[in-house]
Each structure stands twice: as structure tokens, then as C-alpha cells.
């Protein structure tokens, strides 16, 4: 089953550029290329999430294919042989590389019914009495290709190595580390899959490519350099947090990428992306700006970010690509066939609910509201085709379990304020 690609820049923004009379042909063509690239993978994304929602037997082959990419031999070989890598990291890479053949041979055995809940890698290492390895990061130069088959590209920096001469590579390396650190320290979650999956990134993807995305087909982050409107993707910690969270979602409660379930999928990525940004900037919920992709818009763009969780629909208003179309309330929700049922458009509704709950709880967003959303995604109560009201109900139940009646009241009120409420 082929996986999907999620990109941080929503399709409606690219469509705005394509249709705008304020943009010249070069800019419209660049936006069209980016949109075409995204659309080519959207159907595959839906297939992957649909497969993850199937019973274990139906998805076994998909899982085997996925797990084989978790421990990339070439990465460990590069770490072990690269100049400038510290000796401790080299030794660990050599040790872990020696396990790969055993791990590969045991994948299907590990995916047997009695191994439910364990990845092939984790099961095999445990059976062999080996300690699960730590996370390795690596950043590569895509050398401006738009062909995923050639990724990751030329190695620029690996775990244990000093900073590269490439500023974008260092930004990607450091910010991926901050995202993983947040998940570990805040939720005791190890890397993307809770089993110390290694994280690869490629910078300089495409020519003047104005986007960034998580590509599960290659199991890595991919960053364009940007051009006339959008840039600095490797600098935006919330962008990286958003994209990596799509992978985390697959390992918690996979939400189908269609309609309200798809909008919740996007919402979850925004929630954890914004919490990571607020953590890095040490901002409490009431003091934070709640802007996603704040650093991605070039200075001459009339706007402040790609999205606003506090006030959806107010992030930008530029004649070259239009006004932010996100509604902040269910009164603005209209079923559509575009963008897989408006997965980017309508994520603003639950986004505002999370903002309202965070501010009502007070303190830092990850202390209470974030814990509720995290435990919701790990509760087993979120169906793959979950709608907004179902998700609201589960978050309210979790809030009551964690923080009593007052917590439940805060969360329910947040959903009520955005129009996601039960009819009496």
C-alpha cells in the first residue's frame, strides 16, 4: 500500500496564487507545479490511512514494508564511517547495524498475532536481549530534485557529527531534535513510533519549491527552499512539529484523510506543532500568538502566518493569493469535494476549540489541554472516520477522567463555542 504525503502549505493557498491576476505567469506556474505534486500523492495518503484502519491481518503486508525502512542500513553505515562523528555514536551505529540482518529475518514472525502491538524491530531486539537503540538523525541535500525516488540525496550531517556548512541542514537537524525531545519529555513518547525510529530529512528539494512535507514512502521530512512568497521551512519549529506529528498520528489513532476525520488529522498536527513552538518560546497559552507557519511568509506578503488557531480566517489577506478562508465556527462548515472534503479548510474549527480550552485551563498549553488531546489519541476511542462531535465527546470524557467535572466543563464549553455541540 503506497503512503501519502502531507505538505504544510494548504492547497487553497496555492490555488489562490494560480488564479490571481496579481501574479505573473512564472509565479502561477510554480504554484501549479507544487499543487500538482501534492495532488499526485493525496490519493495515496488516503489509501495508507484506510489501510491502517483495517484489522491486523489485512494490513500485515503494509506493516512489513513500513518496518523494513525503520532501521536504514545505509544511514548506520554512513554514521559509522563519516568524519567528525564522535566515537560513542560510531560505536553505537556499528552495534545497531549488526542487528539489522537478524531484525529483517524476523519481521514476519514478529507480525504474528501474538506480537500484537509490537513492531517487528522492537519484538526482535527484545527477543535477542538487545537494548533498543536511540534515535539517529540525518540530513541530506536533495540537490533540487523533485523525484522522491532519488531521496534522501547527498549526506550533509548525521547524529554525533558537528554542524554542517549548510545552514538549512543545521536548522532541520536541530529542530527535528527539539520536536523529538518535546515528545519524549512531555509524553514519554520515543521518536515517531515510540520505538526510537530514526528520522531522516532532505533539504533543497525542487527548484524554488515553496513547501515542506513528511513523505512516509521514503519515511522522512522533505524541505523546499521557498521562493517569492514562502520560505524558511527549516526554521519554523511548528512546521516541523506539524509534519512529524502526521507520522505520530499513524501510531496512535489513525484518522482517515477525508472530511471531518481528515480535518481532525490536520488539527492534531497543528495542535502538537503549536505546543512545540510555545514550548521552545516559553509562552503560556494566554500570551502565545497561536500562529502556525508564522516565519514562512516573506516580509512583503500581507499576512502573519499560514493559519491562526486563535482566530481562523485571519492569517493572511494578500491580493496575490487571496484571504485566509478557514471558518472558526461550524456555521461556516459546508460539505465540499475539494481538498478531500476540506481537510485543511475546516481544521480551523477544532483548532479554535483547542485554543479556547488551553486558555481556560491556564498555564502552558501542554500541561492540561495538551495532555487531554494526547490521551485522547492514545485512548482507543477515536474511530478512523471520527467526526468533530465524536472527537469532542472523547476529549470531554478524558478531561473528566484527568481533571474532574471542572475539566470536562472547560473542554465541552470550548467545543460549544465553535458550534460543535449536541442538539437538545
Whole-angstrom distance, CA of residue 396 vs CA of residue 390: 10
Tens-digit pLDDT profile for residues 51-67: 665 554 344 444 433 33
Percent of the chain topping pLDDT 90: 50
- Domain 6-234 annotated CATH 3.10.170.10: yes
pLDDT at residue 229 greater than cutoff 50: yes
Specify the higher pLDDT residue, 404 or 15: 404
Most confident stretch, 82-91, 93-102, 341-350: 341-350
Question: What's the pLDDT band for 33 if we cut at 50, 70, 90?
Answer: low
Q: Which alpha helices (DSSP H) does 282-342 contain, by range?
A: 339-342
Tens-digit pLDDT profile for residues 197-211: 889 999 999 887 777
CA dist list (Å): 404 to 182, 372, 398, 410: 26, 12, 9, 10
Phi, psi of 294, deg, nearest 5:
-60, -35
Task: Judge contact between 335 and 253, C-beta under 8 A.
Answer: no
Supply the pLDDT for residue 119.
39
SS3 label, residue 38 = helix
Average pLDDT over residues 101-117: 43
Task: Judge contact between 192 and 123, C-beta under 8 A.
Answer: no
The radius of gyration computed from the CA coordinates of the chain, to the nearest angstrom, equals 21
Q: Which residue has the cell 482507543?
A: 380
pTM of the model: 0.78
Average pLDDT over residues 65-80: 52
184, three cell numbers: 519524549
Whole-angstrom distance, CA of residue 244 vs CA of residue 222: 11
Question: What's the pLDDT band for 94 if we cut at 50, 70, 90?
Answer: confident
String of DSSP letters for 243-272: HHHHHHHHTS----SSHHHHHHHHHHHHHH
Whole-angstrom distance, CA of residue 414 vs CA of residue 421: 10
Specify the higher pLDDT residue, 138 or 48: 138
Supply the pLDDT for residue 131.
45
Average pLDDT over residues 211-235: 80
Specify the higher pLDDT residue, 317 or 74: 317
State the fold for domain 259-417. Answer: Neutral Protease; domain 2 (1.10.390)
25, three cell numbers: 505567469
Average pLDDT over residues 389-399: 98
* Catalytic residue list contains 344: yes
Tens-digit pLDDT profile for residues 353-381: 999 999 999 999 999 999 999 999 999 99
pLDDT at residue 291 greater than cutoff 90: yes
Average pLDDT over residues 310-329: 90
Examine residue 331 and say whether the peptide bond preceding it is cis (omega within 30 degrees of 0): no
Whole-angstrom distance, CA of residue 85 vs CA of residue 415: 49
pLDDT at residue 309 greater than cutoff 70: yes
Average pLDDT over residues 136-147: 92
Q: Which of 121, 210, 243, 256 is catalytic?
A: 243
Phi, psi of 206, deg, nearest 5:
70, 180
Supply the pLDDT for residue 303.
87
Q: Which residue has the cell 551505529?
A: 93
Specify the higher pLDDT residue, 372 or 31: 372
Listed by start position, the domains of the chain span: 6-234, 259-417
| Ramachandran region, residue 137 (left: φ > 0; alpha: ψ -120 to 50; beta: rest) | beta
Most confident stretch, 142-146, 192-196, 319-323, 409-413: 409-413
Helical pair 167-187 and 237-250, crossing angle rounded to 10 deg: 50
Whole-angstrom distance, CA of residue 358 vs CA of residue 364: 8
Amino acid at each position: 500500500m503506497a503512503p501519502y504525503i502531507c505538505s504544510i502549505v494548504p492547497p487553497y493557498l496555492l490555488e489562490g496564487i494560480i488564479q490571481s491576476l496579481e501574479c505573473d505567469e512564472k509565479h502561477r506556474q510554480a504554484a501549479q507545479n507544487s499543487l500538482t505534486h501534492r495532488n499526485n500523492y493525496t490519493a495515496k495518503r488516503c489509501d495508507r490511512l484506510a489501510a491502517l484502519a483495517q484489522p491486523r491481518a489485512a494490513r500485515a503486508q503494509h506493516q512489513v514494508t513500513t518496518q523494513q525502512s525503520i532501521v536504514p542500513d545505509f544511514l548506520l553505515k554512513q554514521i559509522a564511517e563519516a568524519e567528525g562523528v564522535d566515537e560513542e555514536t560510531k560505536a553505537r551505529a556499528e552495534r545497531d547495524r549488526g542487528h539489522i540482518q537478524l531484525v529483517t529475518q524476523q519481521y514476519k514472525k514478529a507480525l504474528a498475532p501474538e506480537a500484537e502491538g509490537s513492531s517487528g524491530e522492537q519484538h526482535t531486539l527484545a527477543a535477542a536481549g538487545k537494548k533498543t537503540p536511540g534515535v539517529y538523525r540525518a540530513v541530506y541535500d536533495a540537490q533540487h530534485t523533485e523525484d522522491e525516488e532519488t531521496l534522501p540525496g547527498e549526506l550533509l550531517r548525521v547524529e554525533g557529527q558537528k554542524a554542517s556548512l549548510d545552514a538549512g541542514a543545521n536548522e532541520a537537524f536541530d529542530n527535528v531534535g527539539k520536536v523529538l525531545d518535546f515528545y519524549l519529555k512531555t509524553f514519554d513518547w520515543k521518536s515517531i513510533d515510540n520505538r526510537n525510529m530514526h528520522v531522516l530529512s532532505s533539504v533543497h528539494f525542487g527548484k524554488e519549491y515553496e513547501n515542506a512535507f513528511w513523505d512516509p514512502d521514503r519515511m522522512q521530512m522533505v524541505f523546499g527552499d521557498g521562493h517569492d512568497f514562502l520560505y524558511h521551512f527549516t526554521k519554523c519549529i511548528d512546521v516541523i512539529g506539524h509534519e512529524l506529528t502526521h507520522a505520530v498520528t499513524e501510531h496512535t489513532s489513525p484518522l482517515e484523510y477525508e472530511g471531518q476525520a481528515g480535518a481532525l488529522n490536520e488539527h492534531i498536527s497543528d495542535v502538537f506543532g503549536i505546543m512545540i513552538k510555545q514550548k521552545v518560546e516559553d509562552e503560556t497559552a494566554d500570551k502565545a500568538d497561536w500562529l502556525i507557519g508564522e516565519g514562512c511568509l516573506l516580509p512583503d506578503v500581507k499576512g502573519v502566518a499560514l493559519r491562526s488557531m486563535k482566530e481562523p480566517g485571519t492569517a493572511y489577506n494578500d491580493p496575490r493569493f487571496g484571504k485566509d478562508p478557514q471558518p472558526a465556527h461550524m456555521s461556516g462548515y459546508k460539505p465540499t469535494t475539494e481538498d478531500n472534503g476540506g481537510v485543511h479548510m475546516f481544521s480551523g474549527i477544532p483548532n479554535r476549540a483547542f485554543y479556547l480550552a488551553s486558555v481556560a485551563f491556564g498555564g502552558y498549553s501542554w500541561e492540561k489541554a495538551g495532555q487531554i488531546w494526547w490521551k485522547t489519541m492514545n485512548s482507543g476511542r477515536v474511530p478512523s472516520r471520527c467526526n468533530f462531535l465524536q472527537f469532542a465527546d472523547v476529549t470531554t470524557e478524558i478531561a473528566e477522567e484527568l481533571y474532574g467535572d471542572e475539566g470536562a466543563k472547560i473542554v465541552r464549553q470550548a467545543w460549544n463555542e465553535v458550534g460543535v455541540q449536541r442538539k437538545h
